[in-house]
Every structure is written in structure tokens, then in C-alpha cells.
Structure 1
Amino acid sequence: MRAAALLCLMVLTGCGVAPTGVISGGEPPSGVGRGLRLYFVTDTGLRGVSRPEQHLRELDAVVKLLMAGPNRAEARAGLSTAVQVEGAFSVVAGKNSATLRLATPQAFSPTATGQLVCSLAKGHALLKGGGPDQVAVTLAGAGPYRCSQFIAVLP
């Protein structure tokens, strides 16, 4: 009986928070996260790493960052790079495409191709909006490729 009276008292007095009007929470999150995501090589395939401090102005920077390789912490975690570009290069961004142009023709290994495709697709989405899975990447005339060809799920 005493428990029922206590329960009634709690229900009638409420939780002590004064009512307020409707407060908008803004737009829901969408698209890719903030900052750049690069893909490096592990023993089991490609792994994406966030570089939220990296401000991207052009897609050429993605290739330069891949060639520079993982930072110290990423290297200690077993990450490496297979991307080496010989000679001058440029990356041209279209509406839903990115094209790597090379001054010196070269072929990329499947691992390097995956690194370039996934990293350029993420970079494109960061610069132009949209989803990385919508970006078709062409590498020196080969392709177009999509990141889903190299990893099953974008982390």
C-alpha cells in the first residue's frame, strides 16, 4: 500500500523538469564525415584512416598524401602504401568522376589501384559533395573504377 502511495505521488509531481516549447535539433547528419579519409595497405587488404586535420583543396593532394605513406601511428599499426607515381601528374574532378593523368605512362598494382580509387573517391566526395560510391575513378586511362570493387563496405 505504501509503495502504491509513493508511486502515485511520483506520478503526480513529475520529474521536476519544467516544460518547454519545441526545440529544433537542426538537420540530421548526412554524407561523409568531416575530414579526409585515406586508404592504406594492411596484411588483409585496404583500411581507411581518417585525417580530420587534413584540409583538402584539390585532389592532387590525395595522391601526394598516399605517396608519402602512413603517419607514424598508422605505420606502427601495420599500415603501408603501394602508391608511387613516376613523374608529373594531375587529378581532374568532374561532377561524379575523378581522373588521374600521368606525364609518364605507368601501370598500378591492384593494391595501389584500390588505394587510389577509394582515397580519390572519398576526397572527391569531401570536395564536391555526394557519396564516394557515386564517384567513378579513372587512372591513366584504366577504369573507370568504383571503390566497392576493392572493398566490400566503406568503413
Structure 2
Amino acid sequence: MKRLIVSLAALTLAAGCGVRPTEVLDGGAPASGIPDGMRIYFASDNGLRGVSRPDKEITDLAAAVKLVMAGPNDAELAAGLTDLTAITGEFSASAIGGLVTVRLPKMPVSAVAGMAAGQLVCSLSRAESLLHGTRPDAVRVTVVAQGGTAGPYQCSQFLNR
């Protein structure tokens, strides 16, 4: 009986698992990480979504805010993206060592919460990374608006909620 069990085990091992060999398959291009160029963020039913703006050159942080203010393009609108920031009037944005401050003197601080805050924080974080080489996880964004201050925030606080 013992010989029979050993023989069956050896036969099973020799037969393999039943998976037939195949030729080499192309797995496609390797993962490329964070896409080049500027990304801005808009709100959707599923949270924030980043969209590329590879043709837009960012020379300062205010340019990133202006891209958000311009809103989603037609294809992005059709995909359900929207701008919740409702920024109007004057604003400014500056950074020192990865600490970004955006000033919105005409907006109440209560209007810069949730996904609206996330849109600004993530868009400004990306711009700060492109402009000054700050690691995205090291960028902190503070919003100074009418009636108070919000933050400092990190983009990761608003993604995949």
C-alpha cells in the first residue's frame, strides 16, 4: 500500500499542474508613475479626479488656480466632472519650502471645504512639485479666506475617501 501511495505521488508530480507552457507574451509598456505636466483636480460623484493639462505651462502657483477656475473642458463635463471651488475675484498663491498659502479674500472660509478644498489643495500640490521639485507628500496647503484659515492640508487627505 505504501508503494502505491508513493507511486501515485510521484506520478502526480511528474504530470505537473496541468498548465501547458506558452510562448513569451508581451505585457505592454512598463508603469510610468506620475504623468508629466500639470494635473488639476475636479469633483465627481466618486470623489476627486485629476486631469492632465500637458499643454499648459505652469510658471507660478497662480497659474494652477487659474486652470482650476477655467473649469472642466467639454469632455470632462460629459464625464461628470465639475468645479466646486467657485473662486471669483482676486486671489494669490505663494510657497516657501513646500508650504503653500492661497489667499481668497472675497470668499468665506466656509466655502473652501470638502472637495472644493481638495481641488485647490491637490492642484496646488502638483504645481508646487513641478515648480520647485517638492515631493508631493511634503506639500502642505493653507487657505486664507474671509473669516479665517483652513489647513494646512495634504492632497492625500482628499483622495480615495
Under TM normalisation by the shorter chain, which class is it? 0.7 to 0.9
Match of 1:65 in 2: 67
Q: Hey, what's the Cα distance between the residues in 1 that align with 2:94 and 2:154? A: 16
SS at match of 1:93: strand
Deviation per residue, 1:36-77 (Å, 9 max, x gap): 011111111101111111100111111111111111111111
Could you list the per-position Cα deviations for residues 122-147 of structure 1 after superposition, in whole angstroms to 9, with x for gaps in the alignment?
A: 11101111321110000112110001
C-alpha contact 2:125 2:139 (8 A) present in aligned 1: yes
2:139 is aligned to 135
Q: Which runs of 5+ in 1 are unaligned?
A: 1-29
SS of residue matched to 2:108: coil
Secondary structure in 2 aligned to 1:75?
helix
Rate the CA distance shift 1:97–1:31 in 2: closer, same or farther, 3 A: farther
Which residue identity lines up with residue 77 of structure 1 in the other structure?
A
Q: CA distance change for structure 1 residues 132 and 40 in 2, over 3 Å: closer, same or farther?
A: same
Displacement, 1:101? Answer: 1.2
Backbone CA RMSD of aligned residues: 2.1
AA partner of residue 79 (structure 1): L
Count of residues paired in the alignment: 125
Taking a change above 3 Å as real, the CA distance of residues 32 and 44 of structure 1, as seen in their structure-2 partners, is: closer
The letter for the 2-side match of 1:96 is G
- The CA deviation at 1:33 is 3.3
Deviations 1:86-134 (A, max 9, x none): 3211001111111001232512131100110011001110111132111
% identical equivalent positions: 49
What does residue 151 of structure 1 align with?
159
TM, length-normalised to structure 2: 0.71
In structure 2, what residue type is equivalent to 1:146? Q
Distance, in Å, in 2 between the alignment partners of 1:44 and 1:111 is: 11
* Alignment pair present for 1:119 and 2:123: yes
Question: TM-score scaled to structure 1, two decimals?
Answer: 0.74
**Runs ≥4 residues deviating over 2 A:** 30-33, 102-105
Q: 2:29 aligned with 1:47, yes or no?
A: no
Gaps in structure 2 of 5+ consecutive residues: 1-31
Alignment of 1:17-96 (within 5 A): 32-96=34-98
